[in-house]
Amino acid sequence: MDADLVVIGAGALGLSTALHAALLGRRPVVVERYAAGSQASGRAAGLFKSVQADELRTRIARRSIELALTFPDWAGAELAVTRSGSFLVARTDEHRAYLRTEASQSAGWGVDVRVGQPGELARRLSYFRGTGREHALWCPEDIYIEEPSSLIRACLTAGRLQGIELLESEAVTGVIVAGSRVTGVETTKRSISAPVVVDAAGAWTRQVARLAGGEVAVAPVRHQLLITEPAGAVDPADPITRVVDAAVYLRPARGGLMAGGFEAAPLPVDPRAEARSFSTDDVPLDIGVLRAMTRQIAAEVPAASGPVAEHRGGLFTMTPDGRFVAGPVPDLPGLWVASGCNGSGFSSSLAIGEALAGWICGHAGRIDISALSPARFGQVTDEALVTAGVWQYSHYYDPAGL
Ligand SMILES: Cc1cc2nc3c(=O)[nH]c(=O)nc-3n(C[C@H](O)[C@H](O)[C@H](O)COP(=O)(O)OP(=O)(O)OC[C@H]3O[C@@H](n4cnc5c(N)ncnc54)[C@H](O)[C@@H]3O)c2cc1C
């Protein structure tokens, strides 16, 4: 079999890269060891966030929001998006100062971000009982996708229209290198020749890169969320809320409330140390972590402590500087990577895929992502990588992360 490019992994990042490459006239084949969207992407909270810690991430986030809202126009498939807007809320002086900094730098990068008026949280959020002393930012650009599977389905439908071939239940077992160039892959079922191979293998990115002798600095770290049973206290039309001092995010979901967050001592997981059959279903979940988080906001958001209808989790791919890795793998012409999600891979996938496909195909896109190239890290030991990845995770909404 041959293709113009092989994408390894049918998560949000791989599917978006394949779709954008197909729209640029390439014939991609996507190889997925399980089912499309069954790993991290199928478990995401579906939140898109316009306020980001640097200008490049802001441009990627806002371009992704635009691509999600206009998906039917450019991709030819339906995608249901909830235009909820979001509140960023701080209850401590330190976090108030942090939000002020975020607001002024984000406004400078073009984001529509407004300081909340007194009483606005009480008026606009059915599930939040504030004291009135919170500092709040209103981010009207923010959106969410209710069920993460709908983004995957939309990419698959659009991909079929573009002639993308998807091979599911088929693992890539080797990356073929000939004359120091990557020329294709071996899978559990066949060989595929292609001048370009994209490693979009999520938590398995490192081991897939190693198949070709390449190094990509990502450390998988667990992330969890819960959805409560339907509760009258939650208006499904309410915005997203992020309580930054508690590192918790909330949104309406299935008639109840979704709550997820970033613990201070998260669990790193190395799939290389696990059985070959390891999948996201094997990531150990701990509801106690989420309960400790919802306790921090129990006074303001009692609904978050309600009975749990769903508890799910998976792995983020963290990088030492908290930014994506997307670009050519050093010293291995033909091998590219789309990973290092740092918790935003679902929402950024449409813009990352667009920019990366443009780079691969030689079409300068709207966003130059060369700063995200994997070469920026050089050699990093496993220990240093995990330490840095855990630090980035635990400072997701934190002033120290600025
Ligand atoms: C609970 C939770 C909530 C989240 N919430 C959000 C959110 O609100 N917003 C946001 O932006 N992000 C969120 N994320 C992060 C987001 O889910 C990830 O950033 C994103 O899904 C990463 O996409 P991916 O394509 O890199 O990975 P994945 O979806 O994991 O896809 C990688 C694919 O590669 C496949 N693969 C691996 N090895 C091979 C191989 N050898 N051969 C073939 N295929 C292979 C895997 O089976 C997998 O399907 C959340 C994550 C979790 C766990």
pLDDT average, residue stretch 239-254: 97
Matching residue, tokens 């909270």? 45
Residue 400, pLDDT above cutoff 70: no
Q: How would residue 398 be classed by pLDDT, with cut points 50, 70 and 90? A: confident
Q: Quick one: how far is CA 14 from the chain centroid?
A: 12
- Closest by CA to 301, choosing from 261, 329, 350, 263, is 261
Task: Tell which one of 57, 324, 341 to mutate to probe ligand 1, the residue whose CB is within 8 A of the most ligand atoms.
Answer: 341
Measured distance CA(150)–CA(153) in Å, rounded: 5
Residue 27 Cα to ligand 1 middle (Å): 23
Q: Which DSSP state fits 351? A: H
For residue 251 and ligand 1, the question of a CB distance below 6 A is answered with no
Contact 324, 352 (CB under 8 A): yes
Residue 15 Cα to ligand 1 middle (Å): 11
For residue 45 and ligand 1, the question of a CB distance below 6 A is answered with yes
Predicted confidence (pLDDT) per residue in 314-366, tens digit? 999 999 999 999 999 999 999 999 999 999 999 999 999 999 999 999 998 78
pLDDT average, residue stretch 36-45: 98
- The pair of structure tokens assigned to 208 is 């897939």
- Closest by CA to 262, choosing from 143, 343, 345, is 343
Please give the pLDDT value at position 82: 98
Residue 93 Cα to ligand 1 middle (Å): 35
Residue 12 Cα to ligand 1 middle (Å): 7
Measured distance CA(359)–CA(281) in Å, rounded: 34
Q: Which DSSP state fits 152? A: H
For residue 313 and ligand 1, the question of a CB distance below 6 A is answered with yes
- Closest by CA to 87, choosing from 147, 128, 133, is 128
Please give the pLDDT value at position 224: 98
Residue 34, pLDDT above cutoff 70: yes
Residue 86 Cα to ligand 1 middle (Å): 23
pLDDT above 90 as % of the chain: 93
Q: How would residue 232 be classed by pLDDT, with cut points 50, 70 and 90? A: confident
Residue 208 Cα to ligand 1 middle (Å): 14
Please give the pLDDT value at position 117: 87
Please give the CATH architecture assigned to the domain spanning 5-75+147-219+320-383.
Answer: 3-Layer(bba) Sandwich (3.50)
Predicted confidence (pLDDT) per residue in 83-103, tens digit? 999 999 999 999 999 999 999
Atom of ligand 1 minimally distant from the CA of 343: 15
Q: What is the mean pLDDT of the chain?
A: 96
The identity of residue 120, as a single letter, is: E
For residue 47 and ligand 1, the question of a CB distance below 6 A is answered with yes
- Other CB atoms closer than 10 Å to residue 186's CB: what's the count? 15
Predicted confidence (pLDDT) per residue in 374-396, tens digit? 999 988 999 999 999 999 999 98
| Sequence-ordered list of residues with C-beta below 8 angstroms from that of 17, at least 6 positions apart, any chain | 7, 28, 198, 200, 338, 352, 353, 356, 357
Predicted confidence (pLDDT) per residue in 264-300, tens digit? 999 999 999 999 999 999 999 999 999 999 999 999 9
- Other CB atoms closer than 10 Å to residue 278's CB: what's the count? 16
Please state, in angstroms and as integers, the Cα–Cα distance from residue 39 to each residue in 259, 312, 350, 355, 383, following that order.
Answer: 20, 11, 18, 23, 25
Please give the pLDDT value at position 401: 56
**Residue identifier of the C-alpha nearest atom 53 of ligand 1:** 314
Q: Within 13 Å of residue 128, how many CA atoms lie on the same side as its CB? A: 28
Please give the pLDDT value at position 376: 96
Task: Tell which one of 8, 38, 41 to mutate to probe ligand 1, the residue whose CB is within 8 A of the most ligand atoms.
Answer: 41
Please give the pLDDT value at position 397: 82
pLDDT above 70 as % of the chain: 99
Please give the pLDDT value at position 402: 54
Please give the pLDDT value at position 118: 78
Say what the pTM is.
Answer: 0.98
For residue 391 and ligand 1, the question of a CB distance below 6 A is answered with no
Please give the pLDDT value at position 399: 59
E strands along 148-238, which residues? 165-167, 172-178, 181-187, 191-193, 196-199, 219-228
Measured distance CA(167)–CA(179) in Å, rounded: 27
Measured distance CA(232)–CA(50) in Å, rounded: 29
Please state, in angstroms and as integers, the Cα–Cα distance from residue 281 to each residue in 3, 34, 221, 277, 315, following that order.
Answer: 31, 11, 14, 10, 10
